[in-house]
């Protein structure tokens, strides 16, 4: 039995355990199960507190804060309810975390004016330790110093109270929040993942244990370790919008595109239901989930469904209060153009470039970069060199502005990759093949300094662009009839974004062109599985069918 076959059976077995409840559990209203002893007399206040703690574990910050406030209203001196609400003002899973320092300190000041007075309201040594840890998180020092101090405090709690699963899971999260995601975080990520998994083995319904396990392993190398947590988390906390989305971080790394689509469709639908029930504006829907859903549809070759996601977000993006939604829509629209190769002129390109030239601080770099990338690649493919040069001008202005902001600016690297991608394709359109290769080789070299994305490329300013440079470089090399060199680029692309269909297609073509029949068969066979029934990839499917049929005859 081949290694690939063994892996297929392993995944199938895990799926059979997790999928049955994946859709049914979404109809319930639970958040998980935790055991968190606290000093409180009211059973109702305790119930609100437990809900708040579980919502913290699922990154439902506002709902968590509301639950803790409800507990405070019942018992105004319930110290741990203030601990929880304060903790709801630090978000995210790696450094730098989002943090509202003033709001968190205000919560603590409502419990008591001084740190000593607050500690006096915590009846047990363990609760005093929880408060002391949050005091470190919101105490003196810069963000990094406070994150490290908090993690050290939680680590001491984990050591002092080894049977306290909440101390263990919050410590696991604090480890990841103390470092930037990437090669430098591997030690902390592995330690966090091991702690979270240990809790999950003892409480299979713990939302934080499943959630933090996923975040610890959501990269191309370690993602198989997080597969069990991914398949169970949606069942653990089906009432949490983020819990329905979170398994995606493993599914995307494993090329489980149907699971990726279902996970984010469930999260999107749940967010719509929640926001509508609360009477909030549609700008509050989870466009994060919709962004991922469109990516899943594009990987499946379901162009009609990908178009539907644009139809859902477009009217909200056009609202006066929809600025953040407009940014997501612009990136999704650009990604659709590039993924489907439906090249088109951008009527707003000149206006965007003028805005960048006049005041680049008013432009979101990764939004502008995605738009300029789609416009530049479109123009190059349409042989509209004037428009392509305009996109290049906007990218150069944006790159210069970001470069002058100093080393701490993380967005400049993404724009540098995009600039070289567009420059390379403009050179190619002009017939300057050596210059095209030089630019795209530079783009790929720069992207290799970036962390492999934990989700769809380009969502964050610190990701690689929406068109991975190694994939684009490989496609160019195929155009130049250099399949051997293209093979290397597609291999690197698949290391960064595993099982991505366009990289698989390029890899299959490069392997076939260089006489590597084994790799070509493997890649074409995987494409047949991913794009089976796709109405948007008929030509590529026919190509795969023909190659595989001919390979069988030989």
Co-location of 358 and 458 in the same domain: yes
Which range marks the domain in which residue 266 is found? 255-342
Distance CA 212, CA 207 (A): 9
Q: Which pLDDT score, from 0 to 100, does residue 101 have? A: 97
SS (H, E, C) 482-532: CHHHHHHHHHHHHHHCCCCHHHHHHHHHHHHHCCCHHHHHHHHHHHHHHCC
- CATH number for the domain spanning 75: value is 1.25.40.10
Judgement on whether residues 291 and 354 belong to the same structural domain of the protein: no
Together in a domain, 318 and 362: no
pLDDT at 228: 97
Let me know if residue 400 belongs to a domain.
Answer: yes
Secondary structure (3-state) at 98: strand
Give the contacts of 337 (CB within 8 A, at least 6 positions apart): 343, 344, 374, 378
Give CA–CA dist 136/128, Å, rounded.
12
Given a contact cutoff of 8 angstroms between Cβ atoms, the answer to whether 457 and 497 are in contact is yes
Residue that the structure tokens 């006049």 belong to: 358
E strands, 25-128, where? 90-91, 98-99
> Are residues 382 and 317 part of one domain?
no
Out of 467, 500, 528, a domain closes at: 467
Which tokens sit at 211?
A: 């959630």
SS3 content of the chain, % helix, strand, coil (to 5): 75, 0, 25
Do 362 and 338 reside in the same domain of the chain? no
Residue 392 contacts by C-beta under 8 Å, 6 or more apart in sequence? 376, 419, 422, 423, 426
State which of 428, 450, 467 marks the end of a domain.
467
Whether 208 and 290 share a structural domain: no
Residue 115 in domain: yes
Q: Tell me which DSSP letter residue 554 carries.
A: -
On whether both 178 and 311 belong to a single domain, the answer is: no
91 forms bridges with which residues in the sheet?
A: 98
Q: Are residues 276 and 337 in the same domain?
A: yes
My answer on whether 213 and 311 are in the same domain is no
**DSSP three-state, residue 99:** strand
Task: State the DSSP string of 247-272.
Answer: THHHHHHHT-HHHHHHHHHHHHHHHH
Residue 516 covered by a domain = no
Q: What's the pLDDT score for residue 408?
A: 59
Residue pair 241/267 in contact (Cβ under 8 Å)? The answer is yes
Q: For the chain, how many structural domains are there in total?
A: 3
Same domain, 331 and 400: no
Q: Specify if 43 maps to a domain.
A: yes
pLDDT tens digits in sequence order for the chain, 554 residues long: 333 333 333 344 434 334 333 333 333 348 999 999 999 999 999 999 999 999 999 999 999 999 999 999 999 999 999 999 999 999 999 999 999 999 999 999 999 999 999 999 999 999 999 999 999 999 999 999 999 999 999 999 999 999 999 999 999 999 999 999 998 999 999 999 999 999 999 999 999 999 999 999 999 999 999 999 999 999 999 989 999 999 999 999 999 999 999 999 999 999 999 999 999 999 999 999 999 999 999 999 999 999 999 999 999 999 999 999 999 999 999 999 999 999 999 999 999 999 999 999 999 999 999 999 999 999 999 999 999 999 999 999 999 999 998 755 678 999 999 999 999 999 999 999 999 999 999 999 999 999 999 999 998 888 899 999 999 999 999 999 999 999 999 999 999 999 999 999 999 999 999 999 999 999 999 999 999 988 778 899 999 999 999 988 77
| 181 and 259 belong to one structural domain | no
Q: Are residues 117 and 127 in the same domain?
A: yes
Quickly tell me which residue has 């160019």 as its tokens: 476
User: Residue 487 falls within a domain, yes or no?
Assistant: no
Domain end call among 232, 254, 276: 254
- The pLDDT of residue 405: 86
Phi, psi angle pair for 279, to nearest 5° = 70, 25
Question: What local confidence, expressed as pLDDT, does residue 2 receive?
Answer: 38
Q: Phi and psi of 121, rounded to 5°?
A: -85, -5
């Amino acid at each position: 039995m081949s290694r690939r076959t063994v892996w297929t059976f392993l995944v199938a077995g895990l799926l059979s355990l997790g999928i049955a409840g994946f859709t049914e559990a979404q109809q319930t209203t639970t958040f998980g199960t935790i055991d968190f002893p606290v000093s409180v007399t009211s059973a109702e206040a305790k119930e609100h507190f437990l809900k708040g703690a579980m919502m913290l574990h699922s990154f439902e910050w506002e709902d968590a804060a509301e639950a803790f406030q409800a507990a405070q209203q019942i018992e105004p001196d319930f110290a741990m309810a203030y601990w929880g609400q304060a903790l709801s003002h630090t978000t995210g899973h790696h450094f730098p975390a989002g943090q509202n320092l003033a709001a968190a300190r205000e919560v603590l000041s409502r419990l008591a004016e001084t740190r000593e007075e607050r500690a006096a309201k915590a009846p047990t040594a363990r609760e005093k330790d929880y408060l002391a840890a949050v005091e470190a998180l919101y105490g003196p020092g810069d963000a990094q110093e406070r994150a490290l101090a908090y993690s050290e405090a939680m680590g001491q709690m984990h050591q002092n109270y080894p049977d306290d699963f909440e101390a263990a899971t919050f410590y696991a999260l604090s480890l990841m929040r103390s470092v930037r995601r990437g090669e430098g975080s591997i030690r902390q990520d592995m330690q966090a993942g091991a702690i979270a998994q240990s809790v999950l083995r003892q409480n299979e319904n713990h939302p934080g244990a499943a959630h933090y396990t996923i975040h610890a392993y959501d990269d191309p190398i370690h993602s198989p370790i997080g597969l069990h947590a991914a398949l169970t988390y949606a069942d653990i906390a089906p009432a949490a919008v983020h819990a329905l989305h979170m398994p995606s971080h493993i599914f995307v790394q494993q090329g489980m595109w149907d699971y990726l689509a279902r996970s984010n469709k469930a999260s999107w639908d749940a967010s719509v239901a929640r926001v509508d029930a609360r009477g909030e504006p549609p700008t509050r829907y989870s466009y994060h989930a919709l962004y991922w859903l469109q990516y899943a549809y594009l990987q499946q070759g379901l162009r009609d469904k990908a178009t539907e996601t644009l139809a859902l977000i477009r009217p909200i993006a056009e609202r006066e209060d929809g600025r953040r939604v407009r940014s997501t829509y612009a990136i999704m629209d650009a990604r659709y153009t590039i993924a489907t190769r439906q090249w088109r002129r951008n009527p707003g390109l000149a206006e965007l470039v003028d805005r960048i030239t006049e005041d680049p601080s008013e432009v979101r770099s990764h939004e502008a970069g995605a738009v300029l990338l789609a416009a530049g690649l479109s123009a190059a493919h349409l042989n509209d060199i004037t428009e392509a040069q305009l996109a290049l001008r906007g990218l150069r202005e944006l790159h210069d502005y970001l470069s002058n902001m100093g080393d701490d600016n993380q967005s400049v690297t993404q724009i540098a990759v995009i600039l070289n991608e567009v420059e390379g394709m403009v050179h190619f359109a002009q017939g300057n093949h050596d210059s095209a290769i030089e630019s795209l080789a530079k783009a790929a070299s720069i992207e290799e300094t970036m962390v492999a994305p934990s989700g769809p490329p380009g969502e964050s300013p610190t990701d690689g662009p929406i068109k991975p440079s190694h994939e684009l470089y490989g496609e160019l090399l195929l155009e130049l009839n250099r399949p051997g060199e293209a093979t290397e680029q597609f291999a690197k692309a698949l290391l960064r974004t595993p099982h991505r269909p366009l990289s698989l297609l390029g890899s299959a073509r490069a392997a076939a062109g260089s006489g590597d029949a084994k790799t070509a068969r493997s890649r074409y066979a995987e494409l047949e599985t991913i794009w089976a029934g796709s109405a948007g990839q008929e030509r590529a499917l026919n190509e795969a069918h023909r190659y595989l049929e001919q390979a069988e005859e030989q």
